[in-house]
């Protein structure tokens, strides 16, 4: 073969996804015998809900290719789920199933020619996907003191620059990397601005079911004609490796579903048949799944509170998270002390933190923030979620999950956060 292969410049100049990269590096360090706390990759710590596991076993024999848009029964179940959970009106024809919501997002950008509007900070793969599809990325600034939430004024100001230009706003909440969410009033105000400027919203609600109080509201309630709702099994059902994502698209935008189906037919064909049959169970009301979700949220809320409070006491600027399993602390108040240690940007901070404490995190720069801002993202997921849920169930729904519970059942994460707190105080 030729020494210089004709690889696309777009891909050649891209690193591997930051979240996957830190996970691979952490695993390599652990294999080499080092103690590493894996707070880099955002993977659910909980096992797949048992009724869904049983459904997969029961359907392991399913071997046929399924329709490109997804199994009919599954699309019906997803539409019914959104009706029950959010009061949204979708039919099976509005739903498309993909091998993870990540793939569906890529295909949407492939078929829909529009600028991508991204609040900063945003998940690491949104902007690279836009680059791969040749779309322009417009970063929308947010403020730490407003919980890094996008405001209608910021959205409106960007849209006013070139009226009439096609735009796709990617709104993710509860948010990765911040852990924060929007109130219904905030969503309604954003929806009014998006409608006024004819902005299509892709609402990434993959963490909706792990809103810590179970109070997630979809922006599609306020802008149903212009919002695509993205979901899947990875975060609330613990099934990231199963690779199943869902898009719910307004009936008036059926051409988008048609175009995505064409692209899917020439790429992934269809999602794994056994996984789709099992997913029907995941989206069907079941008291055991509701109990699983209740205790998952309870554990995450208690642990998120502990982690936030510990880092706040060490000098970080942040507030307690609303959902998911992420924190995005800003250590700018410690800038002078860190600078004296040779730490001048977020990448250097995370590198030194990993070297000296074994805690793996990601720099805020990976999420669209300035390198010198001294922000980082951590995923408080390095614990046995199955054991934590089991203990929470034994204690009962009304029990308070205090520090003793966290130190016993979320040991690695608590040790990691304590080590971080001590390092920053030093």
Instruction: Report the C-alpha gap between 21 and 125 in whole angstroms.
Output: 12
Q: Are residues 354 and 247 in the same domain?
A: no
Q: Are residues 368 and 230 in the same domain?
A: no
Asked if 320 and 305 touch (Cβ cutoff 8 Å), the reply is: yes
Q: Are residues 30 and 167 in the same domain?
A: no
Asked if 235 and 202 touch (Cβ cutoff 8 Å), the reply is: no
Q: Nearest-CA neighbor of 330 among 307, 312, 351?
A: 312
Whether 238 is in a domain gets the answer: yes
Q: Are residues 118 and 245 in the same domain?
A: yes
Domain end: 285, 304, 328, which one?
A: 285
Whether 213 is in a domain gets the answer: yes
What is the four-CA torsion angle of 142, 146, 148, 154, rounded to 10 degrees? -30
Q: Are residues 80 and 125 in the same domain?
A: yes
Domain end: 251, 285, 319, which one?
A: 285
pLDDT tens digits, the chain, 426 residues: what are they?
Answer: 456 666 566 656 656 556 667 778 878 878 888 888 999 888 999 999 999 999 999 999 999 999 999 999 999 999 999 999 999 999 999 999 999 999 999 999 999 999 999 999 999 999 999 999 999 999 999 999 999 999 999 999 999 999 999 999 999 999 999 999 999 999 999 999 999 999 999 999 999 999 999 999 999 999 999 999 999 999 999 999 999 999 999 999 999 999 999 999 999 999 999 999 999 999 999 999 999 999 999 999 999 999 999 999 999 999 999 999 999 999 999 999 999 989 999 999 999 999 899 999 999 999 999 989 999 999 999 999 999 999 999 999 999 999 999 999 999 999 999 999 999 998
Q: Are residues 148 and 204 in the same domain?
A: yes
3-state helix, strand, coil in the chain (%, to 5): 50, 10, 35
Residue 365 DSSP label:
G
Residues 6 or more apart whose Cβ sits within 8 Å of residue 220: 86, 88, 203, 227, 229, 248, 250
Whether 162 is in a domain gets the answer: yes
* Phi and psi at residue 378, to the nearest 5°: -130, 150
Tell me the CATH number at 196: 3.40.640.10
Q: Which domain, by its residues, includes 236?
A: 50-285
DSSP string covering 128-170: HHHHHHT--EEEEE--GGGTT---HHHHHHHHHHSTT--EEEE
Q: Are residues 204 and 263 in the same domain?
A: yes
Tell me the CATH number at 23: 3.90.1150.10
Whether 292 is in a domain gets the answer: yes
Whether 3 is in a domain gets the answer: no
Q: Are residues 276 and 311 in the same domain?
A: no
Whether 72 is in a domain gets the answer: yes
Question: How many independent structural domains does the chain possess?
Answer: 2
């Amino acid at each position: 073969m030729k020494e210089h292969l004709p690889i696309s410049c777009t891909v050649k100049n891209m690193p591997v996804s930051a979240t996957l990269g830190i996970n691979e590096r952490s695993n390599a360090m652990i294999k080499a015998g080092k103690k590493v706390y894996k707070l880099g990759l955002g993977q659910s710590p909980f096992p797949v809900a048992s009724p869904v596991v049983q459904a997969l076993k029961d359907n392991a024999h399913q071997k046929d290719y399924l329709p490109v848009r997804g199994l009919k029964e599954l699309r019906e179940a997803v539409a019914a789920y959104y009706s029950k959970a959010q009061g949204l009106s979708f039919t099976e024809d509005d739903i498309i199933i993909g091998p993870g919501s990540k793939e569906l997002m890529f295909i949407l950008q492939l078929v829909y020619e529009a600028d991508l509007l991204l609040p900063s900070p945003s998940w690491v793969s949104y902007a690279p996907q836009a680059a791969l599809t040749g779309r322009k990325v417009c970063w929308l600034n947010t403020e730490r003191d407003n919980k890094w939430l996008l405001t209608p004024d910021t959205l409106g100001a960007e849209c006013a620059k070139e009226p009439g230009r096609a735009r796709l706003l990617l709104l993710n909440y509860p948010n990765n990397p911040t852990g924060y969410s929007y109130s219904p009033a905030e969503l309604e105000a954003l929806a009014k601005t998006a409608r006024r400027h004819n902005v299509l919203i892709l609402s990434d609600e993959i963490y909706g079911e792990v809103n810590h109080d179970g109070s997630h509201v979809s922006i599609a309630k306020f802008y149903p004609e212009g919002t695509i709702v993205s979901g899947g099994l990875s975060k609330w059902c613990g099934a990231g490796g199963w690779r199943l994502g869902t898009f719910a698209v307004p009936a008036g935008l059926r051409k988008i579903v048609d175009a995505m189906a064409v692209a899917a037919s020439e790429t992934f064909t269809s999602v794994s048949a056994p996984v789709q049959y099992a997913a029907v169970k995941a989206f069907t009301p079941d008291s055991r799944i509701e109990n699983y979700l209740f205790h998952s949220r309870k554990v995450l809320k208690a642990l998120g509170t502990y982690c936030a409070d510990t880092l706040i006491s060490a000098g970080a600027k942040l507030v307690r998270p609303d959902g998911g399993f992420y924190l995005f602390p800003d250590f700018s108040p410690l800038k002078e002390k860190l600078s004296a240690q040779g730490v001048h940007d977020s990448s250097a901070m995370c590198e030194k933190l990993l070297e000296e404490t074994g805690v793996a995190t990601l720099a805020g720069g990976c999420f669209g923030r300035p390198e010198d801002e001294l922000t980082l993202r951590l995923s408080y997921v390095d614990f046995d979620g199955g054991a934590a849920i089991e203990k929470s169930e034994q204690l009962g729904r009304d029990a308070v999950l205090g520090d003793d519970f966290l130190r016993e059942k979320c040991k690695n994460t608590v040790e990691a956060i304590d080590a971080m707190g001590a390092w920053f105080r030093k």
